[in-house]
Structure 1
Amino acid sequence: MVAVFNKELLSWYLITLKLNETVEAGLQKVQNPTTATRSIELSQEVQAQRPLQVQKERHQPLDSLQVAVKDGTSNVEEGPKSPEPEWVISIREKLDHANQDDDAVTWSKLCIYRVPQYLREGDDKAYLPQIVSLGPYHHNKKRLRNMDPHKWRAVYHILKRTNQDIKLYLDAIKELEERARACYEGPICLRSNEFVEMMVLDCCFILELFRGAAEGFNQLGYSRNDPIFAMRGSMHSIQRDMIMLENQIPLFVLDRLFGLQMGQPDLKGIVAKLALRFFDPLTPTDEPLTNSDRTKLESSLGHTSAFDPLAELGGLHSLDVFRRSLLRIGPQPTPRIWVKRWSHSNRVADKRRQQLLHCVTELREAGINFKKRKTDRFWDVKFKNGVLKIPRLLIHDGTKSLFLNLIAFEQCHLDSTNYITSYVVFMDNLINSPEDVSVLHYYGIIEHWLGSDAEVADLFNRLCQEVVFDINDSYLSPLSQQVNRYCEHRWNTWRATLSHKYFNNPWAIISFVAAVVLLLLTLAQTFYGIYGYYEPHS
């Protein structure tokens, strides 16, 4: 059976086969001169035609052919395929990589993200650590290497205090390496040993800061003049770096190392409480509450015992723990549904395209009054009977970076609510000018350590410049609708105008009352004059 793919090549093969048979026959018996001469001429003719045949083969689009002879039967079979072009190989490698990335288990562990570029356009510096790097994203950057000797000092103090060997910590992190890598977005370009060393170094540094803030650095063996491990001016900058989204360490890694220090490897929950105490100075409210006020607050939330924001849900990292402590138990994390039916009433929109609320000046003209709400939950805004009650908000130089990183986490993490984002957008709508800030400051709602009210207004106007969120998924949307409906009633506007123009100070009130009395007397005099004309006394 013969499979023919190339007629010219087959012809060349048959001629060669015939020539070989003739040569073999000549070896067995004597050839005559004429036959030998013809054989040599035929061989030379075939050799002359061979280069031409090779050139034709180079232009053939088919794969190379292989000729096999078995049991006197000639077969033409398909040979090995030619290698694929490099660009095709590159595409196949990308598809294989995409197949590896498309793993639901891997994505479910992701919790420490790189801040998206569309958010960085507002203020890139707010997301980049300035003093200390934690984790792989900013590891070994030149401007942050000055903190490395202090990290090694923290490891030394821990080993000296616990009388343990460093290999105990290295082995523990080695076991958690794969799980820890899965928490970070994108590939981590660190070898296994480098990743483990970085984790041990950063975790020990964090734990020493947490314990020092709670127990005192002197108790841990540090000098009171220590440039890092002391509650000095640089500590505020370190806290601000440690709360950034790209500068996080998984909480379960910190739990493991802290448990080893305490002699209980499975110890959990203590690190989260230490983190809350360490980051307490960053809290955007310092409203002091009495015991009775706190009891009323807890009872309103349904708590009968001391409040613990981490009693039911474990945190992912320090930023997540701090965020949950700010929100308390009110906002419950619910999975987001990204694919929704498109409609005009339910759409994802940039906050600049949808004004949820008017500014403070416009609301006052429409009859809305403002009052400070006594609670330590800064996001818990209430509206009733024309009074907008807003908790006190403390603004300092770290507030902007804190809010931006909290917003970035809510934008990136799927199983997170948008409560912080909704609150910031709400405040941004209220504040459009320094005059709005001045009014809120007058009522005790905003307290700031910045240079002027204009800086506060600029801060809120820049916080959500590139943020996209669902306007119907905001917990403040119902409240905003109530406020807007109140402003639509003209009687409220007229009453507010009367109050602002004629009752804004005591002299205006006296003048208004005097004018009313004079008007009433004039009307009475006119009435009696007309009445006496038509009804004269007899």
Structure 2
Amino acid sequence: MVAVFNKDLLSWYLITLKLRETVDQNLPKSGPSSPSHTIPAPLSQNATHPALTNGESHDNPNPDSNSNQDAKQTLVEIEPVTSIIHGPISQTTSTEPHDSWTTSIQHRLHEARETETKNPWAKLSIYRIPETLREGDEKSFVPQMVSIGPFHHGKEKLREMEQHKWRAMQRMLHRTGHEIDRYITAIRPLEERVRSCYEGHIPMQSHELILCLVLDGTFALELFRGATSRNGFTELGYSCHDPVFATRCAMHSIQRDMIMLENQIPLFILDRLFAIQLDQKEHAGRVARLAICFFDPLMPTDEPLKRRDRARMESSIHKSINAMFDPLSEAGSHCLDVFRRSLLRNGPKPVPPRVWLRRWSRNRPVADKRRQQFIHCVSELQDAGITCRRKITDKFWDISFESRGVLRIPRILIHDGTKSLFLNMIAFEQCHPDMANNMITSYVIFMDNLINTEEDVRYLHDQEIIEHWLGDDSEVAELFSRLCQEVVFDFNDSYLSHLSDHVNRYYSSRWNAWKASLIKNYFNNPWAFISFIAGVILLLLTFGQTFYTVLPYYVPPKN
């Protein structure tokens, strides 16, 4: 027995079955009757019959027991039909057992507890660029010529360089007389440590990842050694017509790709491979010195590396392994980290903000663009009597301010690789929680505040502060504006916050603004200065003439 919820359908079948029963009684029996579930011919919905409609009879308000029995029989007979129309009807709905659901929740909580216990984020150093930073500028973060590491391994457009990686591997093995199994065996125990350095899951099998590290690491070391060798890549056995190792255009593109955050391998892998090549004991810092010399052309200054610093590094590479270089006082994570340290060598320690400033800063959203405007643009500073002058140093971040209203800014060189370089260093500072300071981000936002229009760029170019190889000055202004988009930053934590306070106090002085207006309007060229002096002299002569004219009236001469 099943329940039927469509009352109209029930009434229709009761009527048709009752009519069929009446017809069968008037006809002679000529054979076996039809099955009880045979569907009768459809009748008009307007036909009337003393049958059950909506659970009761309209013609007979007191139905007898026969009618009730017919109704019960009809409910049984209608079950096959309703099963065909609406599918099998069940009295209970099957659901997932409660115990299975609870077990699934407990399993997920157990996985989360294990992940928290292992703390896989403690060793992270190679990150995927957040979508907020890479949106609309994919080429600045994604390699276009060569892949280093697992993030971009196997991409179609980068496969052409794979044959050159194998050429570098063959050349290194021929030069050292080693077998490739020696390097694979040395890297295999470091697999778990390597995986913990990368953000997210690496969808590569164990042997694939190890071969990728050995192949890419060997290729990088060949580039580093060739760039620092006295005779170049020919000293390593490469032809002077080599399409990769002897082509300047290809080398520039490779350098730009290998400095990207997503295109890195851990530095300890390079140290291990380099030690095996030289048949020496592994020493941290040797590959870092090679990397600094290799990436030297990307330095954002036309005074890249002082000769004494380069000489110290080369001597430490070729003679002594105990010589120390300031950027390597602490172990770097990868090549981008080492390059950033070399840019910030001997950098100042950020001055901690006052307690009330720190407390107020924590209550404000650090991503607020209004909090990034901590200094006025060049045009507004000029109106307040502040001038910008070039500072002679190779440390592009070393900005200072003099009490007489002079802002000293080192020279910076902007080329086609500067944008990608700064964006990846900013992304590294944004992603890495153990970053000691955010000097690159602070510098870029400071320069973005100084530059609003191409007139500001033109002024800094005239002062020999900005030198660029781009199309025009407006592209430089757009470059710095793009670098600061979606950057999380609080200027109270900047190494330039103390300097910006001095600049803003000087800017807010009315006397400085009046003095600057006087100089701008009357002393901006020699003729204006001469006119001003002539006007002052004429004013003094007129005053003297008036004085001596009026004086006899009040003091008559004595006879």
Instruction: State the 1:291 CA deviation.
Output: 8.2
CA 506–196 in structure 1, closer or farther in 2 if over 3 Å, else same? same
- Tell me the residue number matched to 1:359: 377
What SS does structure 2 have at the residue aligned with 1:504?
coil
**Which of 243, 263, 267 is equivalent to 1:227?**
243
Structure 2: runs of 5+ lacking an equivalent: 1-89, 311-321
1:169 and 1:213 map into 2 onto residues whose CA distance is 23
- Tell me the residue number matched to 2:340: 323
1:398 matches 2:417? yes
- Tell me the residue number matched to 1:176: 190
Deviations 1:370-402 (A, max 9, x none): 111111111111112111111111110100000
Deviations 1:65-93 (A, max 9, x none): xxxxxxxxxxxxxxxx88725xx666555
Deviations 1:17-53 (A, max 9, x none): xxxxxxxxxxxxxxxxxxxxxxxxxxxxxxxxxxxxx
1:255 matches 2:271? yes
**Which of 211, 215, 225 is equivalent to 2:225?**
211
Task: Give the partner amino acid of 1:324.
Answer: R
**Which of 497, 500, 505 is equivalent to 1:485?**
505
1:362 and 1:341 map into 2 onto residues whose CA distance is 28
Q: Contact 1:347/1:470 (CA < 8 Å) preserved in 2? A: no
Task: Give the partner amino acid of 1:119.
Answer: L
- Tell me the residue number matched to 2:14: none
Q: Contact 2:284/2:331 (CA < 8 Å) preserved in 1? A: no
**Which of 241, 245, 254 is equivalent to 2:257?**
241
Number of residue-to-residue matches in the alignment: 449
Instruction: State the 1:264 CA deviation.
Output: 1.3
5 Å-filtered alignment, 1:409-420, equals 409-416=428-435, 417-420=437-440
Deviations 1:210-235 (A, max 9, x none): 00111110011111111111241111
Instruction: State the 1:279 CA deviation.
Output: 0.3
5 Å-filtered alignment, 1:139-150, equals 139-150=153-164
5 Å-filtered alignment, 1:34-113, equals 84=100, 91=105, 94-103=108-117, 105-113=119-127
Q: Contact 1:212/1:220 (CA < 8 Å) preserved in 2? A: yes
CA 60–443 in structure 1, closer or farther in 2 if over 3 Å, else same? closer
What SS does structure 1 have at the residue aligned with 2:248?
coil
Instruction: State the 1:334 CA deviation.
Output: 12
Q: Contact 2:350/2:495 (CA < 8 Å) preserved in 1? A: no
**Which of 431, 437, 441 is equivalent to 2:457?**
437
Deviations 1:300-349 (A, max 9, x none): xxxxx9971244201110000000000102256999xxxx9963576342
1:471 matches 2:491? yes
Instruction: State the 1:108 CA deviation.
Output: 1.4
Q: Contact 2:391/2:411 (CA < 8 Å) preserved in 1? A: yes
1:289 and 1:315 map into 2 onto residues whose CA distance is 19
Q: Contact 1:217/1:229 (CA < 8 Å) preserved in 2? A: yes
What SS does structure 2 have at the residue aligned with 1:370?
strand
What SS does structure 1 have at the residue aligned with 2:420?
helix
1:152 matches 2:166? yes
Structure 1: runs of 5+ lacking an equivalent: 1-56, 64-80, 295-304
Instruction: State the 1:455 CA deviation.
Output: 0.5
1:98 and 1:341 map into 2 onto residues whose CA distance is 34
Alignment TM-score, normalising by the size of structure 1:
0.78
**Which of 277, 287, 291 is equivalent to 2:293?**
277
What SS does structure 1 have at the residue aligned with 2:467?
strand
CA 104–492 in structure 1, closer or farther in 2 if over 3 Å, else same? farther
Deviations 1:282-308 (A, max 9, x none): 0011237988999xxxxxxxxxx9971
2:330 and 2:271 map into 1 onto residues whose CA distance is 15
Task: Give the partner amino acid of 2:243.
Answer: P
CA 309–279 in structure 1, closer or farther in 2 if over 3 Å, else same? same
Deviations 1:133-191 (A, max 9, x none): 11111110111111100000010000000000000000011011111111000111000
- Tell me the residue number matched to 2:325: 308
2:287 and 2:150 map into 1 onto residues whose CA distance is 21
2:541 and 2:303 map into 1 onto residues whose CA distance is 52
- Tell me the residue number matched to 2:142: 128
What SS does structure 2 have at the residue aligned with 1:189?
coil
Instruction: State the 1:492 CA deviation.
Output: 0.2
2:330 and 2:349 map into 1 onto residues whose CA distance is 10
1:342 and 1:153 map into 2 onto residues whose CA distance is 58
1:449 and 1:440 map into 2 onto residues whose CA distance is 15
1:191 and 1:306 map into 2 onto residues whose CA distance is 39
What SS does structure 2 have at the residue aligned with 1:247?
coil
CA 388–172 in structure 1, closer or farther in 2 if over 3 Å, else same? same
2:166 and 2:349 map into 1 onto residues whose CA distance is 40
Q: Contact 1:383/1:483 (CA < 8 Å) preserved in 2? A: yes
What SS does structure 1 have at the residue aligned with 2:121?
helix
1:375 matches 2:393? yes
1:518 matches 2:538? yes
What SS does structure 2 have at the residue aligned with 1:245?
coil
Deviations 1:248-301 (A, max 9, x none): 01000000000000001423211000000000000011237988999xxxxxxx
Task: Give the partner amino acid of 1:263.
Answer: D
Q: Contact 2:361/2:492 (CA < 8 Å) preserved in 1? A: no
Instruction: State the 1:527 CA deviation.
Output: 0.8
Q: Contact 2:141/2:262 (CA < 8 Å) preserved in 1? A: yes
Alignment TM-score, normalising by the size of structure 2:
0.75
CA 345–137 in structure 1, closer or farther in 2 if over 3 Å, else same? closer
Bigger shift: residues 416-425 or 98-107: 98-107
Task: Give the partner amino acid of 2:492.
Answer: N
1:479 and 1:90 map into 2 onto residues whose CA distance is 57
Task: Give the partner amino acid of 2:164.
Answer: H
Between the aligned residues of both structures, percent identity stands at 58
Structure with the greater alpha carbon radius of gyration:
2
1:482 and 1:404 map into 2 onto residues whose CA distance is 29
CA 331–173 in structure 1, closer or farther in 2 if over 3 Å, else same? farther
Task: Give the partner amino acid of 1:264.
Answer: Q
- Tell me the residue number matched to 1:68: none
1:108 and 1:439 map into 2 onto residues whose CA distance is 46
Q: Contact 1:255/1:271 (CA < 8 Å) preserved in 2? A: yes
1:178 and 1:438 map into 2 onto residues whose CA distance is 52
1:364 and 1:401 map into 2 onto residues whose CA distance is 31
Task: Give the partner amino acid of 1:180.
Answer: V
1:334 and 1:496 map into 2 onto residues whose CA distance is 31
Deviations 1:403-458 (A, max 9, x none): 00000000000111111001100000000000111111111111111111101011
Bigger shift: residues 407-416 or 466-475: 466-475
Deviations 1:336-366 (A, max 9, x none): xxxx996357634225222100000000101
- Tell me the residue number matched to 2:15: none
CA 334–92 in structure 1, closer or farther in 2 if over 3 Å, else same? farther
CA RMSD of aligned residues (A): 2.9
1:189 matches 2:206? no
**Which of 549, 552, 558 is equivalent to 1:529?**
549
Task: Give the partner amino acid of 1:473.
Answer: D
CA 290–309 in structure 1, closer or farther in 2 if over 3 Å, else same? closer
